């Protein structure tokens, strides 16, 4: 027999985080589809747009996706004219990803979608609550990233986790 879903104070933090993430991801998927992108492509455009020339391997780390998944996604994006991949002139093993001119407009639209969703999700919070939520989620994020093998952490987070007091 299945248990009834927990309500209110009975829900765990994990339950609430999963539900909020799922609902937010569904909303983002719909918004990205409206501008002609798959959700992951929107995230990729967001990161690449802020880090044009980012190594393909770093995109995989930042997005917490396998290198093969990112390769497939970038191949589709390249085919559709959103990105170009170029070999790094200093290291032939590194493939760098750049937005095309066509992608710059869609990047602005994707960026607007992300911030619109951010306002929608956080609009019920006061400035103080939003600040507290940001601090608490950053703390949880840092702990989880710190538990990843170093090779799976984004470059900016590859240092060893600090000892807890």
pLDDT for res 9 = 60
pTM equals 0.63
CA distance 109 to 32: 9
Cα–Cα nearest to 139, from 15, 19, 13, 6: 13
- The percent of residues in the chain predicted with pLDDT above 90, rounded, is 46
What was the pLDDT predicted at 164?
A: 44
DSSP reduced 3-state for 164: coil
The domains located in the chain, with CATH, are 34-124 (1.10.10.10)
What is the spatial order of strands in the sheet that 91-99 belongs to? 54-55, 91-99, 83-88
Structure tokens at 53: 């020339």
Token code pair at residue 13 = 């933090």
Q: Is the pLDDT of residue 161 over 60?
A: no
Tens digits of residue pLDDT in 104-155: 888 888 888 889 999 999 999 999 999 999 999 999 989 988 888 876 666 5
């Amino acid at each position: 027999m299945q248990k009834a879903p927990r309500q209110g104070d009975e829900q765990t933090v994990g339950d609430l985080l999963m539900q909020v993430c799922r609902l937010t991801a569904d909303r983002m998927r719909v918004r990205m589809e409206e501008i002609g992108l798959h959700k992951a492509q929107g995230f990729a455009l967001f990161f690449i747009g802020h880090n044009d020339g980012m190594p393909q391997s770093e995109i995989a780390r930042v997005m917490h996706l396998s290198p093969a998944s990112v390769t497939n996604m970038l191949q589709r994006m390249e085919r559709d004219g959103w990105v170009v991949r170029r070999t790094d002139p200093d290291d032939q093993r590194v493939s760098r990803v750049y937005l095309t001119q066509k992608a710059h407009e869609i990047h602005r639209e994707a960026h607007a979608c992300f911030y619109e969703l951010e306002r929608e999700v956080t609009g019920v919070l006061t400035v103080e609550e939003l600040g507290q939520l940001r601090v608490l989620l950053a703390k949880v994020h840092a702990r989880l990233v710190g538990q990843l093998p170093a090779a799976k952490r984004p470059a900016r987070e590859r240092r060893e986790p600090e000892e807890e007091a």
